[in-house]
Amino acid sequence: MATVINITDKHHLEQILQQANNVTNGPSIVVMDFYASWCRPCSDIAPVFQELSIKYKNMKFVKIDVDKLEDVAQRYNVRSLPTFIFLRGAEQIDRITGGVPQKLRDKVQELALSGSDSHESGSNKSPQSSKQYDMDILLSKNQCECLNEDDTHSLAQLLNSSENNNSKAYLLSDTDEQLIIYITFSQFVRIQSVQINGPKENAPKTVKLFVNQTSTPDFDSCEIGEAVQTLELTEEDIKHGGITQLNFVKFQNVSTLTIFVKNNQTSTDQTRIDTLKFYGYPVNTINMNEFKRVSGKKGEAHG
């Protein structure tokens, strides 16, 4: 589990920055929290900093006590507490001051989504566009579910495969080839493309997409309901790394996405998905919990 690193001296910090600079895909983001034990706002925001370190595992989060490491605070021109300084590798790219949790969350999220801009091979960037990103960090994974999944090869295992270092995880249907996958985002997002990869024998073929349903629908509703878009996945779409572009104008303010897998490539008994990703970007940085979920029109809940 990712944790906050308490810097003991300037050599310790240099070691951390060197590690961040030597990441294969390019320098990783380092978030430095300059604080003091006597600073009340520093103590108040500390749990938020810890929470972010767990959520954004590809970043490094470090804490620096200004009373113990005055030379480091001077080096980074820290004049008020708390101060958060953001680096890409060893290069400073931004800073914020004050103990405002949402301000800190927004900045970390912004850098997580755009961090791959500085290097072409960044893993968050979609091959098709420099403006669309892997929105894995915007999934509310504990609110996602799948109907007709095999218990030993579940949606949860697939969505959490990177966090659990399980590259062999995949989603498999149970009693027949159909699946209903209900995806919940933590914020309103714009979806530009999806990545649905699997074996050429039993990867999904006909896929219906619905948006902003308030709960997981049943199979009959998905069969007869009018989808926002229906995909016929080709061999190019389903192969490793294949990405399917969506009708972008229809996926502008999405809070939930329902994926109905109607059949698979060769009509075998079980459907398998090895990769499931969503590319796009958030509408804004406001947390979805501040809004009530509302029904829309075409492609939404069918009653």
Residue 153, strand partner residues: 150
Residue 68 amino acid letter: K
Choose the catalytic residue: 39, 144, 146, 222: 39
C-beta atoms surrounding 191 within 10 Å: 22
Q: Say if CB 301 and CB 217 are below 8 A apart.
A: yes
Choose the catalytic residue: 42, 144, 146, 222: 42
SS (H, E, C) the chain: CCCCEECCCHHHHHHHHHHHHCCCCCCCEEEEEEECCCCHHHHHHHHHHHHHHHHCCCCEEEEEECCCCHHHHHHCCCCCCCEEEEEECCEEEEEEECCCHHHHHHHHHHHHHHHHHHCCCCCCECCCCCCCEECHHHECHHHCEEECEECCECHHHHHCCCCCCCCCCCEEECCCCCEEEEEEEEEEEEEEEEEEECCCCCCECEEEEEECCCCCCCHHHHHHCCCCEEEECCHHHHCCCCCEECCHHHCCCEEEEEEEECCECCCCCCCEECEEEEEEEECCCCCHHHCCCCCCCCCCCCC
**Is 146 one of the catalytic residues?**
no
C-beta atoms surrounding 302 within 10 Å: 14
List, by residue number, the catalytic residues: 39, 42
